[in-house]
Amino acid sequence: MPERWYKQAVVYSLDVETFQDSDGDGIGDLRGLINRLDYLARLGVTCLWLNPIHPTPNRDDGYDVTDFYGVDPRIGSLGDFVELVHQCENRGLRLMIDLVVNHTSNEHPWFQSARGNPDSPYRDWYVWSKAEPANKDEGEVFPGYQRGTWSFDEEAGLWYHHRFYDFQPDLNWSNPEVREEIGRVVAFWLQLGVSGFRMDAAPFVIEEIHPDSADRRFVFEWLNDLHDHIAWRRGDGIMLAEANVDRALIPEYFGPRGNRIQMLFNFLVNPRIFLALARSSAAPLVTAIESSPPIPEQCGWATFLRNHDEVDLSRLQESERADVFDAFGPDQNMQLYGRGIRRRLAPMLGNDRRRIELAYVLQFTLPGTPVLRYGEEIGMGDDLSLPQRDSIRTPMQWSDAPQAGFTSSDKPVRPLVAEGDCGYPRVNVTAQRADPGSLLSWFERMLRSLRECPEFGIGQATVLDPKNDAVLAVRFDCPVGTIVALTNLVDEECTVDLSPQPGTGRKPLDVFANRPYEPGPTDLSAVELDGWGYRWIRLARPIAPG
């Protein structure tokens, strides 16, 4: 089994701007993040993924870049970034950054030059049409908030394509010069020490756009080129791509020999976790795992519950989506783009500690590498008075000091959640650090246990049949051992029979569980589970003891 760091990682995603301010200007910054690295190391995560850090007019929270080689001066300098890399290395933490190269900001000097001058060397770096495209209103990503996908630019006298907002003109990836430039961008950050990139909007990056055709053609070979380029510059560098695509297309993204993208966010599983929780049934997850396409050995899934966007339910059937909306986002104001929920997990689950644990245990024991969003480890809430996805992008709650210790300014970049059950006077790191029974302490224990279980990251997953629709039981086999993970999705205790189970023959050992259980019979013929309980049972460990 070749060693692949990303298959045994725990990724923590954060936006520098809302994590920790160090200079009192109200905006989180790189120095603030450096000061919090010990917290992250103690939590037990192994890799940080930073949302965009580049200069930006900030009209899409940094996903509108004006300089791919720079750091947004509001959060620091390149010098601060290199110091961050160094301090991460000191703690054995890896660093990934967002690679937002489907588009630029319309304020990027490339677009400014391209629109203003037909002879500009950057003219062909964007996607233009002389005639008004017939499909100009189709294919919007943010329905209700975005005006079409082609807009007329007065200065150029041409239409330009934008898959996202009109201030995010798409780069023309068919132009080899664009691909070469992105190669330089990637090389630059690898040289500065990042271990990889979260590739934004991958399907749109590799999509060839023609103004007079609605046919979609994807050029997967561009991903091979990027893969090889990264591998040449940094052997263990990776891409983790956002590609919310049909199941049938997924193997194309990994590549026939695993030579395109190493990791994909699992958008097939994410909405089905919510469906499983809403229906108290393991069936949606059983189907999702069993129907996952086979993937090359060196590739892997990244699982997530909450990210910086809405929970996207568009892959569910209408009745399934309705059940999830009813359970977790019943009010219109909790929903977004007609397809998703703009809430954090704790309020979605009524701040019920047992259900929050259950949800995270479910995610962390599904095949793949878990990705955790900042603040979820303490059960942060949302602010539905903020527009669109800003509701879940409020600053980190460090303490009960003014502005939660995020900043000494009284004008934080975004308001803190101050009121209610999730407000920072009640939910904050300092209080939870002092309390061994807190959600944060539970996360620390869970992550420590997870890191003792490489089976979840590298093992072969087999769904078992516990003959109980509310229980998900998955067995993970790999050369270093075998683990069975059980989660009970109802608030009713049960005993399940998993016998016969190859590899048993000694007392099953709970590596992690919602409480200490009696070991039960060796052949797993009677495994007890509390209501909303969970157990990770180690069956065999040929190499290490325990």
Residue choice 48, 84, 100, 238 for contact with ligand NOJ (CB under 6 A): 100
Least distance to ligand NOJ, CB of residue 309, Å: 5
Instruction: Look up 25 and say whether it is catalytic.
Output: no
CA distances from 391 to 194, 257, 371 (A): 29, 40, 20
> Which CB, 234 or 342, lies closer to ligand NOJ?
342
Provide the residue count of the chain. Answer: 546
Maximal C-alpha separation, the chain:
77
> Which CB, 201 or 264, lies closer to ligand NOJ?
201
Instruction: Look up 410 and say whether it is catalytic.
Output: no
Site of tokens 């996360």: 443
Closest CA relative to residue 369, chosen from 7, 14, 44: 7
> Which CB, 153 or 310, lies closer to ligand NOJ?
310
> Which CB, 31 or 393, lies closer to ligand NOJ?
393
Least distance to ligand NOJ, CB of residue 201, Å: 5
Least distance to ligand NOJ, CB of residue 414, Å: 15
Amino acid at 191: Q
Least distance to ligand NOJ, CB of residue 95, Å: 18
Q: Counting contacts by CB under 6 A, is residue 202 touching ligand NOJ? A: no
> Which CB, 52 or 459, lies closer to ligand NOJ?
52
By DSSP bridging, strand 47-50 and strand 11-14 are parallel
Least distance to ligand NOJ, CB of residue 46, Å: 22
Q: Counting contacts by CB under 6 A, is residue 17 touching ligand NOJ? A: no
Q: Of residues 60, 153, 170, 200, which has the active-site annotation?
A: 200
Least distance to ligand NOJ, CB of residue 519, Å: 44
Least distance to ligand NOJ, CB of residue 202, Å: 10
How many CB atoms lie under 10 A from the CB of residue 167? 17
Q: What is the DSSP letter of 526?
A: S
Least distance to ligand NOJ, CB of residue 63, Å: 3
Q: Counting contacts by CB under 6 A, is residue 396 touching ligand NOJ? A: no
Q: Counting contacts by CB under 6 A, is residue 309 touching ligand NOJ? A: yes
> Which CB, 104 or 438, lies closer to ligand NOJ?
104
CA distances from 496 to 473, 475, 528 (A): 10, 14, 7
Residue choice 201, 250, 341, 429 for contact with ligand NOJ (CB under 6 A): 201
Helix axis angle, 176-191 to 221-233, nearest 10°: 30
For residues 21 and 24, give the distance between their C-alpha atoms in angstroms, rounded to a whole number. Answer: 6
Adjacent-strand bridge partners of 460: 477
Least distance to ligand NOJ, CB of residue 509, Å: 40
Letters for 355-394 (x = contact with ligand NOJ by CB under 6 A, - = none) are ----------------------------------------
Give the burial class of 187: count Cβ atoms within 10 A of its Cβ; 0-12 exposed, 13-18 middle, 19 or more buried. middle
Do 476 and 486 touch, CB atoms closer than 8 A?
no
> Which CB, 128 or 304, lies closer to ligand NOJ?
304
For residues 523 and 499, give the distance between their C-alpha atoms in angstroms, rounded to a whole number. Answer: 6
Residues 236-265 that bind ligand NOJ (CB under 6 A): 242
Closest CA relative to residue 499, chosen from 461, 464, 533: 464
Amino acid at 12: Y
> Which CB, 100 or 486, lies closer to ligand NOJ?
100
Least distance to ligand NOJ, CB of residue 320, Å: 23
Q: Counting contacts by CB under 6 A, is residue 200 touching ligand NOJ? A: yes
Residues 153-172 that bind ligand NOJ (CB under 6 A): 164
By DSSP bridging, strand 300-304 and strand 481-488 are unpaired
For residues 162 and 105, give the distance between their C-alpha atoms in angstroms, rounded to a whole number. Answer: 10
Site of tokens 């209103």: 137
Q: What is the full DSSP assignment across 392-429?
A: G-PPP---SSGGGGT-SSSS-SS----SSTTSTTTS-H
Q: How many residues bind ligand NOJ (CB under 6 A)?
A: 9
Q: Counting contacts by CB under 6 A, is residue 60 touching ligand NOJ? A: yes
- Strand 509-513's sheet: what is its strand order? 460-463, 471-478, 481-488, 534-540, 509-513
Strand (E) or helix (H) holding 493: none
For residues 121 and 119, give the distance between their C-alpha atoms in angstroms, rounded to a whole number. Answer: 6
For residues 260 and 226, give the distance between their C-alpha atoms in angstroms, rounded to a whole number. Answer: 8
Which residue number is nearest to ligand NOJ in terms of Cβ?
A: 63
SS3 35: helix
User: Which residues lie below 8 Å from residue 546, measured CB to CB, with a gap of 6+?
Assistant: 509, 538
> Which CB, 164 or 301, lies closer to ligand NOJ?
164
Taking the alpha carbons of 219, 220, 221, 225 in that order, is the dihedral positive or negative? positive
Q: Of residues 242, 357, 376, 377, which has the active-site annotation?
A: 242
> Which CB, 80 or 200, lies closer to ligand NOJ?
200
Active site members: 200, 242
Report the interface residues with ligand NOJ, using CB under 6 A: 60, 63, 100, 164, 200-201, 242, 308-309
